[in-house]
Structure 1
Amino acid sequence: MLELYTDRLRLRSVISSDWDNFLYTHSSEQLNEFVRKPQAESVIRQKFERVLANRDFSEGEWLLTIIEDVHTQDFIGFIGLQNSDAEMGQMQVGYMIHPKAHGQGFASESLQAIIDWACLSFKPHKFIAYCIEQNIASTKVLEKCGFVREGLLRENCKIGEQWFDDCLYGLLAAQRC
Protein backbone atom coordinates (compact mmCIF):
# COMPACT_ATOMS: atom_id res chain seq x y z
CA MET A 1 0.00 0.00 0.00
CA LEU A 2 1.34 3.39 -1.00
CA GLU A 3 1.54 6.06 1.70
CA LEU A 4 3.04 9.51 1.21
CA TYR A 5 3.09 12.24 3.84
CA THR A 6 3.41 16.01 3.90
CA ASP A 7 3.07 18.25 6.94
CA ARG A 8 -0.72 18.33 6.52
CA LEU A 9 -1.61 15.46 4.22
CA ARG A 10 -1.50 11.73 3.79
CA LEU A 11 -1.75 10.29 0.28
CA ARG A 12 -2.58 6.61 0.28
CA SER A 13 -3.81 3.81 -1.93
CA VAL A 14 -7.55 3.50 -2.46
CA ILE A 15 -9.26 0.79 -0.40
CA SER A 16 -12.80 -0.62 -0.52
CA SER A 17 -14.05 1.63 2.31
CA ASP A 18 -13.34 4.67 0.07
CA TRP A 19 -16.39 3.87 -2.07
CA ASP A 20 -18.61 6.66 -0.70
CA ASN A 21 -16.00 9.34 -1.41
CA PHE A 22 -15.26 7.88 -4.84
CA LEU A 23 -18.97 7.85 -5.69
CA TYR A 24 -19.41 11.43 -4.45
CA THR A 25 -16.49 12.85 -6.41
CA HIS A 26 -17.49 11.06 -9.60
CA SER A 27 -21.19 11.93 -9.36
CA SER A 28 -21.02 15.54 -8.13
CA GLU A 29 -22.06 18.09 -10.78
CA GLN A 30 -19.92 20.75 -9.05
CA LEU A 31 -16.73 18.68 -8.94
CA ASN A 32 -17.12 17.42 -12.48
CA GLU A 33 -17.91 20.77 -14.06
CA PHE A 34 -14.57 20.78 -15.92
CA VAL A 35 -14.15 17.00 -16.23
CA ARG A 36 -17.23 15.11 -17.43
CA LYS A 37 -20.95 14.78 -17.00
CA PRO A 38 -21.57 12.67 -13.89
CA GLN A 39 -22.04 9.05 -14.81
CA ALA A 40 -24.43 6.37 -13.61
CA GLU A 41 -23.54 4.71 -10.31
CA SER A 42 -23.00 1.36 -12.07
CA VAL A 43 -20.35 2.94 -14.35
CA ILE A 44 -18.69 4.61 -11.36
CA ARG A 45 -18.69 1.27 -9.51
CA GLN A 46 -16.89 -0.39 -12.43
CA LYS A 47 -14.24 2.35 -12.35
CA PHE A 48 -13.85 1.90 -8.60
CA GLU A 49 -13.39 -1.86 -8.98
CA ARG A 50 -10.67 -1.25 -11.62
CA VAL A 51 -8.90 1.16 -9.24
CA LEU A 52 -9.00 -1.44 -6.45
CA ALA A 53 -7.74 -4.20 -8.75
CA ASN A 54 -4.98 -2.11 -10.36
CA ARG A 55 -1.87 -2.54 -8.26
CA ASP A 56 0.32 -2.65 -11.36
CA PHE A 57 1.60 0.72 -12.55
CA SER A 58 2.16 -0.42 -16.13
CA GLU A 59 2.07 1.87 -19.15
CA GLY A 60 -1.32 3.49 -19.65
CA GLU A 61 -2.48 2.75 -16.11
CA TRP A 62 -3.46 5.29 -13.46
CA LEU A 63 -2.30 5.13 -9.87
CA LEU A 64 -5.05 6.82 -7.88
CA THR A 65 -4.50 7.92 -4.29
CA ILE A 66 -6.74 9.34 -1.60
CA ILE A 67 -5.77 12.70 -0.13
CA GLU A 68 -6.69 12.99 3.53
CA ASP A 69 -5.88 15.24 6.47
CA VAL A 70 -2.93 13.64 8.26
CA HIS A 71 -4.33 14.55 11.70
CA THR A 72 -8.10 14.01 11.34
CA GLN A 73 -8.14 11.52 8.44
CA ASP A 74 -10.86 13.70 6.81
CA PHE A 75 -11.25 13.09 3.08
CA ILE A 76 -9.83 15.94 0.98
CA GLY A 77 -9.83 14.47 -2.52
CA PHE A 78 -8.03 12.28 -5.01
CA ILE A 79 -4.82 12.68 -6.96
CA GLY A 80 -3.70 10.40 -9.73
CA LEU A 81 -0.60 9.68 -11.71
CA GLN A 82 -0.70 7.93 -15.09
CA ASN A 83 2.23 6.11 -16.60
CA SER A 84 1.26 7.60 -19.96
CA ASP A 85 4.36 6.84 -22.04
CA ALA A 86 7.10 4.74 -20.47
CA GLU A 87 9.42 4.95 -23.49
CA MET A 88 9.29 8.76 -23.46
CA GLY A 89 9.36 8.91 -19.66
CA GLN A 90 6.07 10.82 -19.46
CA MET A 91 3.57 10.77 -16.64
CA GLN A 92 0.22 12.53 -16.55
CA VAL A 93 -1.23 14.01 -13.37
CA GLY A 94 -4.81 14.75 -12.35
CA TYR A 95 -6.61 15.67 -9.16
CA MET A 96 -10.02 16.39 -7.72
CA ILE A 97 -10.48 18.20 -4.41
CA HIS A 98 -13.66 18.14 -2.28
CA PRO A 99 -15.39 21.56 -2.23
CA LYS A 100 -14.94 21.88 1.56
CA ALA A 101 -11.18 21.76 0.99
CA HIS A 102 -10.95 24.23 -1.89
CA GLY A 103 -8.66 27.23 -1.56
CA GLN A 104 -6.45 25.79 1.19
CA GLY A 105 -3.46 24.71 -0.90
CA PHE A 106 -4.20 20.99 -0.65
CA ALA A 107 -4.10 20.40 -4.42
CA SER A 108 -0.68 22.05 -4.77
CA GLU A 109 0.69 20.27 -1.72
CA SER A 110 -0.49 16.84 -2.86
CA LEU A 111 0.64 17.44 -6.45
CA GLN A 112 4.12 18.38 -5.26
CA ALA A 113 4.23 15.27 -3.05
CA ILE A 114 3.23 12.84 -5.79
CA ILE A 115 5.65 14.45 -8.27
CA ASP A 116 8.52 14.18 -5.78
CA TRP A 117 7.66 10.53 -5.10
CA ALA A 118 7.39 9.72 -8.81
CA CYS A 119 10.76 11.36 -9.48
CA LEU A 120 12.42 9.22 -6.83
CA SER A 121 10.57 6.01 -7.75
CA PHE A 122 10.40 6.10 -11.55
CA LYS A 123 12.83 8.76 -12.80
CA PRO A 124 10.42 10.24 -15.39
CA HIS A 125 11.52 12.84 -17.89
CA LYS A 126 8.31 14.89 -17.91
CA PHE A 127 4.95 15.36 -16.25
CA ILE A 128 1.96 16.51 -18.25
CA ALA A 129 -1.50 17.77 -17.33
CA TYR A 130 -4.57 18.74 -19.28
CA CYS A 131 -6.79 21.49 -17.97
CA ILE A 132 -9.89 23.02 -19.53
CA GLU A 133 -9.13 26.65 -20.24
CA GLN A 134 -11.98 27.89 -18.01
CA ASN A 135 -10.69 25.98 -14.96
CA ILE A 136 -8.74 28.88 -13.45
CA ALA A 137 -8.26 27.19 -10.05
CA SER A 138 -6.56 24.16 -11.60
CA THR A 139 -4.44 26.40 -13.82
CA LYS A 140 -3.18 28.19 -10.71
CA VAL A 141 -2.34 24.88 -9.00
CA LEU A 142 -0.32 23.68 -11.98
CA GLU A 143 1.58 26.94 -12.34
CA LYS A 144 2.28 27.10 -8.60
CA CYS A 145 3.89 23.65 -8.90
CA GLY A 146 6.11 24.74 -11.78
CA PHE A 147 4.07 23.52 -14.75
CA VAL A 148 4.26 25.65 -17.90
CA ARG A 149 1.47 26.02 -20.41
CA GLU A 150 2.84 24.42 -23.58
CA GLY A 151 -0.15 24.51 -25.85
CA LEU A 152 -3.84 24.79 -26.51
CA LEU A 153 -5.73 21.80 -27.84
CA ARG A 154 -8.82 23.22 -29.49
CA GLU A 155 -12.11 21.46 -28.77
CA ASN A 156 -10.19 18.58 -27.21
CA CYS A 157 -12.62 17.76 -24.40
CA LYS A 158 -16.36 17.11 -24.67
CA ILE A 159 -18.51 17.48 -21.56
CA GLY A 160 -22.09 16.60 -22.27
CA GLU A 161 -22.80 18.11 -25.66
CA GLN A 162 -20.30 20.97 -25.39
CA TRP A 163 -16.70 21.01 -26.62
CA PHE A 164 -13.97 22.75 -24.62
CA ASP A 165 -10.39 23.75 -25.32
CA ASP A 166 -7.77 21.95 -23.25
CA CYS A 167 -4.61 23.66 -22.11
CA LEU A 168 -1.62 21.35 -22.16
CA TYR A 169 0.81 21.86 -19.28
CA GLY A 170 4.24 20.33 -18.83
CA LEU A 171 6.85 20.07 -16.12
CA LEU A 172 10.28 18.67 -16.83
CA ALA A 173 11.30 16.45 -13.94
CA ALA A 174 14.72 18.13 -13.85
CA GLN A 175 13.07 21.52 -13.32
CA ARG A 176 10.54 20.63 -10.64
CA CYS A 177 10.25 23.05 -7.76
Structure 2
Amino acid sequence: MVELYSDRLKLRSLKEEDWPYFLALNLDPEINQFVRIPESEEVIRKKFIERSASWLYSSGDWLTLAIETIDSGEFVGLTGLHCQHFEEQRAEVGYLLLKEHHGKGYASESLQAVVDWACLRFEVHKFVGHCAKDNIASARVLEKCGFQLEGVHREQFKIGDVWLDELSFGLLAHERQR
Protein backbone atom coordinates (compact mmCIF):
# COMPACT_ATOMS: atom_id res chain seq x y z
CA MET A 1 0.00 0.00 0.00
CA VAL A 2 1.48 3.30 -1.12
CA GLU A 3 0.41 6.61 0.38
CA LEU A 4 2.08 9.93 -0.48
CA TYR A 5 1.20 13.51 0.42
CA SER A 6 1.87 16.92 -1.06
CA ASP A 7 0.55 20.30 0.09
CA ARG A 8 -2.92 19.79 -1.37
CA LEU A 9 -3.03 16.16 -2.44
CA LYS A 10 -3.02 12.61 -1.20
CA LEU A 11 -1.75 9.93 -3.59
CA ARG A 12 -2.66 6.37 -2.71
CA SER A 13 -2.94 2.86 -4.07
CA LEU A 14 -6.10 2.11 -6.00
CA LYS A 15 -9.15 0.76 -4.18
CA GLU A 16 -12.26 -0.90 -5.57
CA GLU A 17 -14.28 2.32 -5.03
CA ASP A 18 -11.98 4.04 -7.56
CA TRP A 19 -13.33 1.86 -10.38
CA PRO A 20 -15.98 4.36 -11.63
CA TYR A 21 -13.34 7.11 -11.86
CA PHE A 22 -10.78 4.82 -13.51
CA LEU A 23 -13.43 3.80 -16.06
CA ALA A 24 -14.51 7.41 -16.71
CA LEU A 25 -10.91 8.54 -17.27
CA ASN A 26 -10.19 5.70 -19.65
CA LEU A 27 -13.44 6.06 -21.62
CA ASP A 28 -13.40 9.84 -22.10
CA PRO A 29 -12.42 10.54 -25.73
CA GLU A 30 -11.38 14.13 -24.96
CA ILE A 31 -9.04 13.13 -22.13
CA ASN A 32 -7.61 10.33 -24.27
CA GLN A 33 -7.30 12.27 -27.53
CA PHE A 34 -3.49 12.20 -27.25
CA VAL A 35 -3.23 8.82 -25.48
CA ARG A 36 -5.35 6.13 -27.14
CA ILE A 37 -8.72 5.28 -28.58
CA PRO A 38 -10.80 4.33 -25.55
CA GLU A 39 -10.83 0.59 -25.06
CA SER A 40 -13.75 -1.63 -24.11
CA GLU A 41 -14.98 -1.69 -20.52
CA GLU A 42 -13.79 -5.29 -20.26
CA VAL A 43 -10.21 -4.34 -21.21
CA ILE A 44 -10.27 -1.34 -18.87
CA ARG A 45 -11.55 -3.51 -16.00
CA LYS A 46 -8.67 -5.93 -16.54
CA LYS A 47 -6.19 -3.03 -16.37
CA PHE A 48 -7.85 -1.77 -13.20
CA ILE A 49 -7.55 -5.18 -11.52
CA GLU A 50 -3.88 -5.47 -12.55
CA ARG A 51 -3.08 -1.97 -11.31
CA SER A 52 -4.94 -2.49 -8.04
CA ALA A 53 -2.87 -5.55 -7.16
CA SER A 54 0.17 -5.39 -4.91
CA TRP A 55 3.11 -3.85 -6.70
CA LEU A 56 6.84 -4.44 -6.84
CA TYR A 57 9.05 -1.77 -8.42
CA SER A 58 11.41 -4.20 -10.15
CA SER A 59 8.47 -5.97 -11.88
CA GLY A 60 8.27 -3.28 -14.55
CA ASP A 61 4.51 -3.05 -13.98
CA TRP A 62 2.87 0.33 -13.58
CA LEU A 63 2.19 1.63 -10.09
CA THR A 64 -1.04 3.56 -10.50
CA LEU A 65 -2.00 5.91 -7.69
CA ALA A 66 -5.31 7.66 -7.15
CA ILE A 67 -4.97 11.41 -6.61
CA GLU A 68 -7.42 13.06 -4.24
CA THR A 69 -7.61 16.42 -2.54
CA ILE A 70 -6.62 16.46 1.11
CA ASP A 71 -9.32 18.92 2.18
CA SER A 72 -12.38 17.20 0.63
CA GLY A 73 -11.12 13.77 -0.46
CA GLU A 74 -12.37 14.49 -3.98
CA PHE A 75 -10.98 12.19 -6.68
CA VAL A 76 -8.76 14.18 -9.07
CA GLY A 77 -7.14 11.60 -11.32
CA LEU A 78 -4.34 9.07 -11.59
CA THR A 79 -0.56 9.25 -11.53
CA GLY A 80 2.20 6.73 -11.28
CA LEU A 81 5.40 5.23 -12.52
CA HIS A 82 7.01 2.04 -13.64
CA CYS A 83 10.57 0.79 -13.65
CA GLN A 84 11.67 1.07 -17.25
CA HIS A 85 15.11 -0.43 -16.60
CA PHE A 86 16.14 -1.65 -13.14
CA GLU A 87 19.93 -1.79 -13.59
CA GLU A 88 20.04 1.62 -15.25
CA GLN A 89 17.81 3.06 -12.50
CA ARG A 90 15.35 4.54 -15.01
CA ALA A 91 11.63 5.01 -14.40
CA GLU A 92 8.80 6.33 -16.56
CA VAL A 93 6.10 8.58 -15.12
CA GLY A 94 2.55 9.35 -16.18
CA TYR A 95 -0.67 11.08 -15.12
CA LEU A 96 -4.29 11.41 -16.24
CA LEU A 97 -6.73 13.87 -14.64
CA LEU A 98 -10.47 14.35 -14.81
CA LYS A 99 -11.33 17.37 -17.00
CA GLU A 100 -12.74 19.41 -14.12
CA HIS A 101 -9.34 19.31 -12.43
CA HIS A 102 -7.26 20.45 -15.40
CA GLY A 103 -5.40 23.72 -15.00
CA LYS A 104 -5.22 23.66 -11.19
CA GLY A 105 -1.62 22.47 -10.86
CA TYR A 106 -2.63 19.03 -9.57
CA ALA A 107 -0.77 17.10 -12.28
CA SER A 108 2.49 18.93 -11.52
CA GLU A 109 2.05 18.63 -7.78
CA SER A 110 1.30 14.90 -7.93
CA LEU A 111 4.14 14.25 -10.39
CA GLN A 112 6.60 16.08 -8.14
CA ALA A 113 5.49 13.93 -5.18
CA VAL A 114 6.00 10.72 -7.19
CA VAL A 115 9.45 11.83 -8.39
CA ASP A 116 10.61 12.80 -4.89
CA TRP A 117 9.34 9.54 -3.39
CA ALA A 118 10.87 7.36 -6.13
CA CYS A 119 14.25 9.08 -5.75
CA LEU A 120 14.30 8.30 -2.05
CA ARG A 121 12.67 4.86 -2.16
CA PHE A 122 14.18 3.33 -5.30
CA GLU A 123 17.25 5.48 -5.98
CA VAL A 124 16.01 6.32 -9.47
CA HIS A 125 18.74 8.02 -11.50
CA LYS A 126 16.58 9.18 -14.41
CA PHE A 127 12.89 9.76 -14.98
CA VAL A 128 11.34 9.81 -18.43
CA GLY A 129 8.00 11.11 -19.59
CA HIS A 130 6.34 10.99 -22.98
CA CYS A 131 3.46 12.88 -24.52
CA ALA A 132 2.04 13.62 -27.92
CA LYS A 133 3.62 16.70 -29.48
CA ASP A 134 0.20 18.35 -29.67
CA ASN A 135 -0.50 17.73 -25.97
CA ILE A 136 0.79 21.12 -24.87
CA ALA A 137 -0.67 20.86 -21.36
CA SER A 138 1.10 17.57 -20.63
CA ALA A 139 4.41 18.89 -21.97
CA ARG A 140 3.99 21.91 -19.71
CA VAL A 141 3.50 19.67 -16.64
CA LEU A 142 6.75 17.87 -17.36
CA GLU A 143 8.64 21.12 -17.94
CA LYS A 144 7.20 22.65 -14.76
CA CYS A 145 8.62 19.68 -12.83
CA GLY A 146 12.08 20.21 -14.32
CA PHE A 147 11.98 17.66 -17.14
CA GLN A 148 13.90 18.63 -20.27
CA LEU A 149 12.90 17.87 -23.83
CA GLU A 150 15.28 15.21 -25.12
CA GLY A 151 13.77 14.40 -28.47
CA VAL A 152 10.90 14.26 -30.90
CA HIS A 153 9.90 10.89 -32.30
CA ARG A 154 8.17 11.52 -35.59
CA GLU A 155 4.95 9.57 -36.18
CA GLN A 156 5.75 7.45 -33.13
CA PHE A 157 2.26 6.14 -32.44
CA LYS A 158 -1.14 5.99 -34.06
CA ILE A 159 -4.57 6.85 -32.71
CA GLY A 160 -7.21 5.71 -35.13
CA ASP A 161 -5.96 6.72 -38.56
CA VAL A 162 -3.75 9.56 -37.32
CA TRP A 163 -0.01 9.23 -36.74
CA LEU A 164 1.23 11.40 -33.87
CA ASP A 165 4.66 12.73 -33.06
CA GLU A 166 5.83 11.99 -29.52
CA LEU A 167 7.96 14.19 -27.28
CA SER A 168 10.44 12.51 -24.93
CA PHE A 169 11.41 14.29 -21.72
CA GLY A 170 14.02 13.39 -19.15
CA LEU A 171 14.85 14.42 -15.60
CA LEU A 172 18.01 13.37 -13.80
CA ALA A 173 17.50 12.82 -10.08
CA HIS A 174 20.15 15.39 -9.11
CA GLU A 175 18.40 18.02 -11.27
CA ARG A 176 14.99 17.68 -9.66
CA GLN A 177 13.31 20.59 -7.95
CA ARG A 178 13.16 20.35 -4.20
Would you say same fold, with TM above 0.5? Answer: yes
Q: Which residue of 2 aligns with 1:157?
A: 157
Query: What's the CA shift for 1:93?
Result: 0.4
CA RMSD for the aligned pairs?
Answer: 0.9
Distance 2:86 2:113 in 1: 21
Equivalent pairs counted in the alignment come to 177
Q: Which residue of 2 aligns with 1:61?
A: 61
Distance 1:52 1:97 in 2: 18
Distance 1:68 1:52 in 2: 16
Distance 2:18 2:154 in 1: 35
Q: How does 1:15-164 map to 2 (within 5 A)?
A: 15-164=15-164
Query: What's the CA shift for 1:49?
Result: 1.0
> Is the CA contact 2:55–2:61 (under 8 Å) kept in the aligned structure 1?
no
Q: Which residue of 2 aligns with 1:8?
A: 8
Q: Which runs of 5+ in 2 are unaligned?
A: none
Distance 1:41 1:53 in 2: 18
Distance 2:142 2:158 in 1: 21
Q: Which runs of 5+ in 1 are unaligned?
A: none
What percent of counterpart residues are identical?
A: 48
* Structure 1 letter corresponding to 2:41: E
Query: What's the CA shift for 1:56?
Result: 2.1
Q: Which moved more, 1:130-139 or 1:51-60?
A: 51-60
Structure 1 residues 149-169: Cα deviation after superposition (integer angstroms, max 9, x where no partner): 000111111111211010000
